[in-house]
Structure 1
């Protein structure tokens, strides 16, 4: 067999041939016409990488369950299950014991476990998407953890003050909670559930702080495409990294490669911890505190989450920023799609007739504008048909995504036309 012929042989330059390359080399000396078809492809994926991505995908499904629905389930469960438990005590299990393993070593120090995973994850992910800008990371992202810790400390202390100030000992002669408990008696007060608050507050903080992992893998694709664009002196209008300078690109590439394995490991730990908090919350609903005490603590935890992560942080101009915000934005929900005009030949006749009638009814040109708009603006159905794998789009290039979505749409229209012919 003969050797592969080089795609772009060097002509008398004395330089070695590039026959071992599977695409034309880029560089400043390559014209735009020569560079066509040289888009770099992704490196082969190892079995280990596939397994890791499978675990990450499962963790995403667990921790990013519809947050609004989860909040509603928290409140509804606190009310219904706790109300039933007040009148019909549930059968005692291992979780009913206050000295059970999970209660002693996890719930009682629950905020410590939350910080153990949330702090390094927030720092490393923010440091990466700010391209190594330590000051920006500390100013725009780290304060979220400080604020969450402040609210945890404030509310738990307030709960303790309320119980101590508005309670009484079961035996007369003891005016303080400490003296009553030391004497072996019980203190009866309005004990707002600190456990329910910590568990819900920790779960919601973990969910929000883990959001940078959404579409994290696309950063690698954006880096590869942006480096290629710069090597052939081509400017991209859609790559989110296009506004970064060369130093920031190099820093992002280095940090993403080095820190991504650690970030993934921390995310898996966050997902497992959040699931444990939900399980322990069920135990709290079943066996501890009265219904009103748990519902109030749950409402306070949810209002704290809503005020910070849904109202404060997303507001422009107010620090800190929301999780996932950096020097570039990589978490686009949909890719820009344009339907090629030649696909109108495969549209049903009724659609073309309606477009034509629309043009006749609007002689001032509005009908033509509507027809053009139909040919360029993506429909919601078309966006949903972009091929995905594990929740990630298979294409990061807008043209490739457009072609794939258009082919799917054309095939669906063809099947509908065939089905309509059979029915008639």
Structure 2
């Protein structure tokens, strides 16, 4: 009897192993977001759905003509300050959004004690470069026009004035078939599907900051939560992400946001507010949906693929690890 119930018996070890498996069950599969991440990610579609419904149901918004070419309500009849493209939040923040996102990230990277390790700094910098690369490809340049411009053209869109200019031989075709060149030539996008660049930027930038700041702080017991991320090891075993954590110098303020973290969280709040304003006053529901999906594509590649591809994780790391 003692042998069957003793702490060193096979049954006891099996029971212990079973208990460990049960304890690990709440951790999500490596290729999926954790429950906490799912909860935060849900904020984005909720804001977009709420904003879209508000724009349809609000008498003030519904009564104002919508300019499909300009993807906004007619400016002189704008139902709100935030419905005007020239509002300060749009011109000073969203139009320069990636610069603000980068500034907040650098401030956090250079000031938070949990990121003192050169290795952590390097891998965080690589993640920033990858996310920035996705932003560039989608909105700025992709071996020519950006993906947003290419998508618009491939779905039948054109720059009305620029098309005429090309046929008259006054412009080079490669130069005018981008949103910036179209506007510069006095033209307007017409037809085609225009992925919402605002939604893309605001989702990508805010989630980037939440990942980089959130996991650094949350891993240290803030909010009473443990790290629920799992990773696939080189031998195929699935383990908690903490097994790859560096030996930490647990100073008293490592779990605090610090000045850089507070700045980043403030920018996240502003991103969410402007995302709601975009949802209410700009773009069609489908343009907003594709902006969200394109942002999530880049997010998944940088923050979720490494969890189940060990070689990739060895290069880019995980936030907070």
Whole-Å Cα distance in 2 between the matches of residues 167 and 67 of structure 1?
Answer: 36
Whole-Å Cα distance in 2 between the matches of residues 322 and 102 of structure 1?
Answer: 32
Kept in 1, the 8 Å contact 2:219–2:320? The answer is no
Matched, 1:279 2:283: no
Kept in 2, the 8 Å contact 1:285–1:294? The answer is yes
Give me the CA root mean square deviation.
3.6
1:148 is aligned to 131
Unaligned runs of 5+ in 1: 1-64, 219-239, 326-424
1:197 is aligned to 200
Whole-Å Cα distance in 1 between the matches of residues 95 and 258 of structure 2?
Answer: 27
Matched, 1:99 2:75: no
1:89-238 alignment runs, 5 A limit: 89-90=61-62, 92-125=79-112, 128-129=113-114, 133-134=117-118, 136-156=119-139, 157-164=146-153, 166-170=156-160, 173-175=164-166, 176-177=176-177, 181-182=183-184, 184-188=186-190, 189-210=192-213, 211-214=215-218, 216=220
Kept in 2, the 8 Å contact 1:169–1:185? The answer is yes
2:232 is aligned to none
TM-score by length of 2: 0.59
Query: What is the CA distance between 1:123 and its match in structure 2?
Result: 4.6
Whole-Å Cα distance in 2 between the matches of residues 179 and 214 of structure 1?
Answer: 44
Whole-Å Cα distance in 2 between the matches of residues 288 and 71 of structure 1?
Answer: 21
Question: Aligned pair in 2 of structure 1 residues 273, 183: CA closer, same or farther (>3 Å)?
Answer: closer
TM-score by length of 1: 0.46
Query: What is the CA distance between 1:303 and its match in structure 2?
Result: 2.6
Query: What is the CA distance between 1:133 and its match in structure 2?
Result: 4.3
State the Cα deviation string for residues 320-352 of structure 1 (Å, max 9, x = none): 111111xxxxxxxxxxxxxxxxxxxxxxxxxxx
Matched, 1:299 2:282: no
2:316 is aligned to 320
State the Cα deviation string for residues 144-198 of structure 1 (Å, max 9, x = none): 1111111111121211233356422456734545776456442214221111000
Whole-Å Cα distance in 1 between the matches of residues 128 and 184 of structure 2?
Answer: 36
Whole-Å Cα distance in 2 between the matches of residues 99 and 293 of structure 1?
Answer: 21
Question: Aligned pair in 2 of structure 1 residues 202, 163: CA closer, same or farther (>3 Å)?
Answer: same
1:311 is aligned to 305
> In terms of Rg, which structure is larger?
1
Question: Aligned pair in 2 of structure 1 residues 308, 179: CA closer, same or farther (>3 Å)?
Answer: closer
Kept in 2, the 8 Å contact 1:174–1:180? The answer is no
1:75 is aligned to 45
